[in-house]
Amino acid sequence: MPIPAISDFDEEAMLQGLLEWVAIESPTSCPESVNRMISAVARSLAELGAGIETIPGRNGYGDAVRAHFAFGEQGPGILVLAHLDTVHPLGTLDRALPIRREGDRCYGPGIFDMKGGAYIAVEAMRYALRRQGATPLSVTFLLIPDEEVGSPTTRALIEAEARRSKYVLVPEPAQDRGRLITGRWAFARFKLSARGQPAHAGANTGSGRSAIHEMAQQILRIEALSRPKDNVTFSVGTIRGGTFVNVVPLECEAEVLAVAPSQKELDWVRDAMLQLTAIEPGVELRVEEGPVRPLFEASRGTMEIYGLARDLAREIGFELEHGSVGGGSDGNFTGALGIPTLDGLGLCGDGFHTHREHILVSSLVPRVRLFAGLLSELR
């Protein structure tokens, strides 16, 4: 089984190329910025010979791009799923998380989740074309603009492309010690809206009904539903309400993320949320379901790809473990369809979704060699 040599890759050149991507801030909520990031990656793929199709964004999100390499055997090929939106707002580079290197760690918004993984996937494709001219199967890169909010506008696109594919490779961040992901728990999002009764907060407080007070009580009620020992969790991540400090707030909204390790638990989560009612008299409470990431359980096909990856890793010189995790990705959608999906193929690091987000520079070459090996060996 031929493995790309260490000498085939320049670690420093790869890092500098990746940092050019990290310098393009791309929070999900800013479609123009996401489009700049996706366009940069699409240009790299077009230069390698991919046919580029842009799917216009909608509902306030950026565009998606389908980059297809039409060679190899006829029939289903490999789908590479990569999101290029991040959770970090514009300006994070200048303040809380500037690009910097400290020994083996390199920091920056989105460098770990998941621009680093997307970068090595493109570099692996570049290597395969340079050395072999083609891969045994056709390869399609699907670049996603809204993964960090549950892929509400791209789920159908992802599932349609996956159904045309034989394998799905997802270069999301590797787990601890570089483990691959062969399963992901289910995720459900909910939006809560409380509507109270306004009043002057000083002169006539008692006649009002505070939507914020209602929501504060609901937050305690919801998060108390968590059962960490059973891997069932509820987390309220955003809250918005009120207009002026001297007005008893009329409206308040909150968003909830719930995680469940099985379909049975996911059904329980849904029932628990939809049965919520207002606590305070005179207040209305509405619960709306948002995007759901279905349960991804390892199939035989997924384990076969993992077995190939494990053997490739051993030839490269490291042991590669695997497992199911609580974090969601677009791999949830493809894995739930039963299509062989291997996730967590990105870089090693830590701190995603925080101001400590970083990669381990030393993982660049081993992980790109692994990805290149998969592109060359999958049949």
- The ranges assigned to domains in the chain are 6-185+295-377, 186-293
pTM of the model: 0.94
Cβ atoms of residues 218 and 234 within 8 Å: no
Question: Which one is the CATH code of 6-185+295-377: 3.40.50.1220, 3.90.1150.10, 3.20.20.70, 3.40.630.10?
Answer: 3.40.630.10
Query: What does the pLDDT read at residue 204?
Result: 84
DSSP code of 114?
I
* CATH 3.40.47.40 given to domain 186-293: no
Per-residue pLDDT of the chain (379 residues; tens, 9 = 90+): 468 889 999 999 999 999 999 999 999 999 999 999 999 999 999 999 999 999 999 999 999 999 999 986 678 999 999 999 999 999 999 999 999 999 999 999 999 999 999 999 999 999 999 998 999 999 999 999 999 999 999 999 999 999 999 999 999 999 988 999 999 999 999 999 999 999 999 888 888 999 999 999 999 999 999 999 999 999 999 999 999 999 999 999 999 999 999 999 999 999 999 999 999 999 999 999 999 999 999 999 999 999 999 999 999 999 999 999 988 999 999 999 999 999 999 999 999 999 999 999 999 999 999 999 999 999 9
pLDDT of residue 72: 65
Same fold? 6-185+295-377, 186-293: no
User: What does the DSSP 8-state code read for residue 31?
Assistant: H
User: Which pLDDT value is given to residue 206?
Assistant: 85
User: Can you read off the two tokens belonging to residue 279?
Assistant: 């606590």
pLDDT reported for residue 149? 95
Q: What is the pLDDT of residue 2?
A: 67
Cα distance between residue 175 and residue 322, in whole Å: 9
> In this predicted model, what pLDDT tens digit does every residue of 337-377 receive, in sequence order?
999 999 999 999 999 999 999 999 999 999 999 999 999 99
Q: Please state whether beta strands 165-169 and 105-107 pair in parallel, antiparallel, or not at all (unpaired).
A: unpaired
278-309 pLDDT, tens per residue? Answer: 999 999 999 999 999 999 999 999 999 999 99
Concatenated DSSP letters of 268-312: HHHHHHHT---SSTT-EEEEEEEEEE--B---HHHHHHHHHHHHH
pLDDT of residue 1: 45
How do 137-144 and 73-83 pair as beta strands? parallel
Torsion angle defined by CA atoms of residues 234, 257, 98 and 28, in that order, rounded to the nearest 10 degrees: 180
* 169 in Cβ contact with 142 (< 8 Å): no
